[in-house]
C-alpha cells in the first residue's frame, strides 16, 4: 500500500478535515471531498467563506444568549412575544426545536450546557447567574425549565430552582408523558408511570 492511502496529500487533508464533523466518518468524508471536486472553485470558496463568516461574526444575545447577528436577538426584540415567560434550555438547537412547534410565544434563556461534574461543567460555566439577574429585574413572572431528564439535567433544574427561590417567580417544567403515536408497549416504565400520575382531564 501507499504511504498515503488517498494518493494525494490534498485529498487526504480534505478527508481528514471533513471527518472531524460530527456523524461524518472517513467514507462519507471522502464522498464529500469528491463532491466538492465536481463543484466550481468559486462555489467551494463561497461555501468556505460562509462557514468562516458564520463562526467569526456570530453574536450571542446579551439577554438570552441565543445566536444573533448583532446584539439583541430577534426573540428578545419581538414586542409581540410574551416577555414575562422565560423558557430555560440547554442549547441553541433546543430553541429552534421549540420554535418549530409554533406553540410557544414567550422568551428563552440558553444555558449553554448543563451541570456535569464528570465533564468539568459547573454552574459558573453556564448562564445561570444571568438567568437569576433576569428574574431579579422583576419583569419575569414564569420560568419554564425545559432541560433533559438525565441526572445532569435534573441537577441543573434543581440548582436553578434554588437560585430563583428568593424571587417571586412561578417555576414550571415541560410535561413528560407518552409521545403522540408512541406504543404503550414500547414506552419506558418511568415515562409511562409519570404519564399516569400526571393524567389530564379528558375533554369530550
Radius of gyration of the chain, Cα coordinates, nearest whole angstrom:
22
Q: Rank residues 50 and 150 by Cβ distance to a copy of itself and give the closer one.
A: 50
Is 9 one of the binding residues for a copy of itself (CB under 8 A)? Answer: yes
Is 121 one of the binding residues for a copy of itself (CB under 8 A)? Answer: no
Q: Residue 142 CB, nearest distance to a copy of itself (Å)?
A: 22
Contact residue for a copy of itself among 71, 82, 84, 99 (CB under 8 A) = 99
Q: In a 3-state reduction of DSSP, which class is residue 174?
A: coil
For 108, residues 6+ apart whose C-beta sits below 8 A from its C-beta are: 64, 66, 75, 86, 87, 88, 89, 95, 98
Q: Rank residues 10 and 203 by Cβ distance to a copy of itself and give the closer one.
A: 10
Contact residue for a copy of itself among 79, 85, 102, 139 (CB under 8 A) = 102
From the list 178, 156, 188, the residue with the least C-alpha distance to 89 is 156
Is 139 one of the binding residues for a copy of itself (CB under 8 A)? Answer: no
> Which residues in the 17-46 window bind a copy of itself by CB under 8 A?
17-18, 20-23, 28, 30-37, 39, 41, 44-46
Contact track, a copy of itself, 48-87, x by CB under 8 A: xxxxxxxxxxx-------xxxx---xxx--x---------
Q: How many CB atoms lie within 10 A of CB 117?
A: 9
Contact residue for a copy of itself among 25, 62, 84, 96 (CB under 8 A) = 96
For 71, residues 6+ apart whose C-beta sits below 8 A from its C-beta are: 59, 61, 62
d(CA 125, CA 129): 10
Would you say 176 and 193 are in contact if contact means Cβ atoms under 8 Å apart? no
d(CA 73, CA 83): 13
Binding site residues, a copy of itself, CB under 8 A: 1-2, 4-11, 13-14, 16-18, 20-23, 28, 30-37, 39, 41, 44-58, 66-69, 73-75, 78, 91-93, 95-96, 99, 102
Amino acid at each position: 500500500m501507499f504511504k498515503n492511502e488517498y494518493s494525494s496529500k490534498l485529498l487526504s487533508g480534505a478527508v481528514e478535515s471533513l471527518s472531524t464533523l460530527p456523524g461524518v466518518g472517513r467514507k462519507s468524508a471522502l464522498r464529500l471531498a469528491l463532491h466538492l471536486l465536481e463543484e466550481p472553485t468559486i462555489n467551494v470558496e463561497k461555501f468556505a467563506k460562509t462557514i468562516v463568516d458564520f463562526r467569526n461574526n456570530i453574536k450571542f444575545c446579551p439577554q438570552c444568549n441565543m445566536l444573533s447577528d448583532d446584539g439583541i436577538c430577534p426573540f428578545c426584540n419581538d414586542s409581540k412575544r410574551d416577555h414575562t415567560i422565560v423558557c430555560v434550555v440547554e442549547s441553541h438547537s433546543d430553541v429552534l426545536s421549540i420554535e418549530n412547534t409554533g406553540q410557544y410565544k414567550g422568551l428563552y434563556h440558553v444555558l449553554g450546557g448543563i451541570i456535569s461534574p464528570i465533564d468539568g461543567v459547573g454552574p459558573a460555566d453556564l448562564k445561570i447567574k444571568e438567568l437569576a439577574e433576569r428574574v431579579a429585574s422583576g419583569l419575569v413572572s414564569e420560568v419554564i425549565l425545559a432541560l433533559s431528564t438525565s441526572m445532569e439535567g435534573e441537577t441543573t433544574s434543581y440548582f436553578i430552582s434554588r437560585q430563583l427561590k428568593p424571587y417571586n417567580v412561578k417555576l414550571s417544567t415541560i410535561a413528560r408523558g407518552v409521545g403522540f403515536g408512541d406504543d404503550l408497549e414500547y414506552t419506558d416504565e418511568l415515562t409511562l408511570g409519570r404519564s399516569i400520575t400526571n393524567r389530564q382531564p379528558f375533554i369530550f
